[in-house]
Amino acid sequence: MQARGLPKNLAITLLILSPLAAVSFIIWWIFTSLSAGPAMDAGARGQGASDTGGANAIGELLAGNDPDEIQRTNRALRSGEPIDPALWPGGITFTIIDPGLPATRRPSLGFHNGRETSVSVMQGPNDGVFTLTVDPGEVDPGSLVLVGINGLSIDPGGPSVDGEGNAISPAAIDPVSISGADRTEPIIVDLNELGFRLK
């Protein structure tokens, strides 16, 4: 009785050719994938971005940090280029020299980003200086600063006044050159240097 199925010679030939067919398929797949380009085309982020930047960026994101902001800050520190204090990852400490105000008159500090204004009371005086420290992200880049006494009343269509009715003028925060600073510490912005004087 004759055996059913593939002839013995054909079965052996297919068995010998199957590894070659598998390798050929894998090579074809590799070249097809390379010619199609990456499925995700995201830029490298973080330190050592060509090799380990992805892992570093993921670690920074899990820690609640912005990898792009950290890189921007690191470049500014290395090159000494000016940076907007609002982008500094350690926050900002605003200072103004104590002009001898009595306890009933407290400096107020406002930030106007073009849409809204946030107002805070400065602390102190400590060693003759009033201070206000804001956390990263609390001041938008390009915001204007306003300083008055006992509050601020901001009128986009007219003059802005402080709590005592004195007219106040906003000032821009200029980018500052940073060298040798710890990016986890607040950067100091002296409001006297921006032209603010309390009376």
Q: What's the mean per-residue pLDDT of the chain?
A: 76
**Cα 170 to Cα 78: distance, rounded to the nearest angstrom:** 32
Tokens of 2: 């004759």
> Which single residue is written with the structure tokens 């090579």?
27
List pLDDT tens digits, range 61-70.
Answer: 676 666 676 6
> 71 and 45 in contact (C-beta within 8 Å)?
yes
List pLDDT tens digits, range 170-199.
Answer: 788 888 777 666 777 888 888 888 777 766
pTM over 0.85: no
Q: In the predicted model, is pLDDT for residue 16 greater than 60?
A: yes
- Provide CB contacts within 8 A for 14, sequence distance 6+: 6
Report percent pLDDT > 90 for the chain.
Answer: 6
Q: CA angle at residue 52 from 49 to 54, to 5 degrees? A: 75
